[in-house]
Amino acid sequence: MNLIRLSLVGVGVALLVSGCGGRRRNSKVDFSQMGPSINAKRYANLEKIAAKDLKCDVELTPQYLGENQYQMIGCNTEGVYELRCVVGQCSWIPDVRVHAEFDLGCAKQDLQATKLDRVTTGVVGCGKRATYRLLGARYGYSWVLNSMVAQDETPAPSPKDEVPQPTNL
């Protein structure tokens, strides 16, 4: 019985050493440079979400932005995603600009997002602005328009820009 147990342990160790099972050594992403919460499974999930959002089938290039935010680049477009973890359960927050693209009638690359607080983000672009609220669902997060889409006002010309009109006396 001990001989069988010993041989199974030996086979298991041999498989791990040969690369079958365990962590992949030739991973295309260096997770040590990608923030504290990322691992291979979470990264694979991010790749799947970003490929769908960006409509890109080629390999995406990740860039860690800090504070669990990641930029995925590919097919001449990019998206920004945030990883939120609560008690070990993690979900990816989608790029708010994907939702704002429809509401503001503006291309995603022309939109700028500014985080106002943990669950509110302002988006500006094409002379319009709006705020979005992050809603958590059981299996993920989504952005919801939290304000009216406002048209940015063009500033009134200053008096120095006006050309004086000649007067007749």
Among left, alpha and beta (phi > 0; psi -120 to 50; other), residue 153 is beta
CA pair distance 129, 108, nearest whole angstrom = 13
CA pair distance 134, 97, nearest whole angstrom = 13
Residues 29 and 71 reside in one and the same domain = yes
Domain that holds residue 82: 25-93
pLDDT tens for 73-127 read 999 999 999 999 888 788 999 999 999 999 999 999 999 999 999 899 999 999 9
Give the DSSP H/E element, type plus range, for residue 72: strand 69-74
CA pair distance 98, 108, nearest whole angstrom = 6
Total domains, the chain: 2
Residues 75 and 29 reside in one and the same domain = yes
Per-residue confidence (pLDDT) for residue 97, from 0 to 100: 94
Residues 53 and 109 reside in one and the same domain = no
16 occurs within a structural domain: no
- pTM for the model: 0.69
102 occurs within a structural domain: yes
3-state secondary structure of 97: helix
Per-residue confidence (pLDDT) for residue 32, from 0 to 100: 80
161 occurs within a structural domain: no
Strand-strand pairing, 128-137 and 140-145: antiparallel
Per-residue confidence (pLDDT) for residue 9, from 0 to 100: 57
Looking at 93, 113, 141, the residue that finishes a domain is 93
